[in-house]
């Protein structure tokens, strides 16, 4: 990719990421329906229905999260209720039982930019908890600035070096791909607003992200 600021090119990278994440649950729905068409045993049909239900919930949860993290969810206003972000994050992680979420966010409305940054940092940190763990999310709105902190801790924490580089602003243009697009977007959104991104050092057993976003 020669120009990461090209909106069409960048949108295609994000779309590739979303399609990749949705392929598994949607594919499971299709496979379940095919099994149901040929299955006559009542117990197996009930099992198929349960699997279909799980896949449908996973697909719906991912779509809700992606709509808020990458789309224009919340209407055309400048703020979003924090509860919407919490529901989206819990739908992505808590329902699987793999990750526990700690929520420490002011109840007042958050700006759309802050919500997108919070959601994407939570997604990156949650994915880094490859064996599950604790994902803590905090945000505080103070005069002139919104502070966001995302902390991930678990038995094995692995942050892809390219994702780290994208967040830190050191990723070369040729390294921008569908898997790094969201991290690059977070960096661009925060720095474009005059803010800063902070990361815990490589090798630290606890993954910590911070973002400071001026109003």
Pair of tokens at residue 24: 């598994």
- pLDDT at position 184: 93
Which helix (DSSP H) or strand (DSSP E) does residue 100 occupy?
strand 99-105
For residues 1-5, average pLDDT: 49
Architecture in CATH of 7-214: 2-Layer Sandwich (3.30)
- pLDDT at position 183: 95
Q: Residues of the chain with pLDDT > 70: what percent?
A: 94
For residues 24-40, average pLDDT: 81
Asked if residue 182 lies in contact with residue 123, where contact means CB atoms within 8 angstroms, the answer is yes
Strand, coil or helix: 163? helix
Report the candidate in 148, 157, 103, 150 with the shortest Cα–Cα distance to residue 123.
150
Q: How many CA atoms lie within 13 A of 5 on its CB side?
A: 3
Each residue's pLDDT tens digit, 62-101: 999 999 998 865 544 688 899 999 999 999 988 778 899 9
Each residue's pLDDT tens digit, 132-182: 999 999 999 999 999 999 999 999 999 999 999 999 999 988 878 999 999
User: What gap in Å lies between CA 26 and CA 59, rounded to an integer?
Assistant: 7
Tokens 């972000």 belong to residue:
85
Contacts 24+ apart (CB under 8 A), 185-193: 185/10, 185/14, 185/120, 186/116, 186/117, 186/120, 186/121, 186/124, 186/211, 189/113, 189/116, 189/117, 190/117, 193/113
Each residue's pLDDT tens digit, 34-68: 878 777 888 888 888 888 888 888 889 999 999 99
- pLDDT at position 3: 52
- pLDDT at position 77: 62
Report the candidate in 198, 167, 193, 195 with the shortest Cα–Cα distance to residue 180.
167
- pLDDT at position 76: 47
Q: Could you tell me the CA-to-CA distances from 205 to 7, 101, 156, 163, 167 in Å, in that order? A: 36, 18, 8, 17, 18
User: What gap in Å lies between CA 162 and CA 170, rounded to an integer?
Assistant: 9
Instruction: Report DSSP letters for 173-191, one per residue.
Output: GGG--TTTHHHHHHHHHHH
Q: With bands split at pLDDT 50, 70 and 90, how would you rate the model's confidence at 9?
A: confident
Taken in order 61, 138, 106, 132, the sign of the CA dihedral is positive
Phi and psi angles of residue 98, each rounded to the nearest 5 degrees, phi first: -85, -35
- pLDDT at position 1: 45
Each residue's pLDDT tens digit, 192-212: 999 999 999 998 999 999 999
Asked if residue 118 lies in contact with residue 150, where contact means CB atoms within 8 angstroms, the answer is yes
């Amino acid at each position: 990719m020669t120009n990461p600021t090209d909106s069409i090119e960048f949108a295609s990278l994000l779309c590739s990421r979303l399609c990749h994440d949705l392929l598994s649950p949607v594919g499971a729905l299709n496979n379940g329906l095919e099994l149901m068409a040929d299955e006559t045993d009542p117990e197996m049909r009930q099992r198929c229905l349960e699997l279909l239900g799980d896949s449908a919930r996973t697909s719906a949860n991912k779509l809700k999260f992606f709509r808020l993290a990458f789309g224009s969810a919340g209407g055309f206003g400048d703020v979003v209720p924090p509860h919407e972000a919490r529901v989206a994050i819990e739908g992505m992680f808590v329902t699987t039982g793999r990750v526990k979420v700690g929520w420490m966010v002011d109840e007042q409305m958050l700006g759309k930019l802050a919500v997108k940054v919070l959601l994407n940092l939570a997604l990156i940190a949650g994915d880094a908890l490859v064996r599950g763990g604790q994902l803590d999310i905090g945000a505080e709105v103070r005069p002139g600035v919104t502070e966001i902190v995302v902390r991930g801790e678990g038995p094995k924490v692995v942050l892809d070096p390219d994702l780290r580089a994208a967040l830190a602003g050191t990723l070369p243009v040729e390294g921008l791909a569908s898997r790094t697009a969201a991290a690059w977007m977070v960096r661009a959104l925060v720095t474009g607003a005059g803010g800063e991104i902070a990361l815990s050092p490589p090798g630290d057993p606890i993954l910590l992200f911070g973002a400071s976003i001026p109003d």
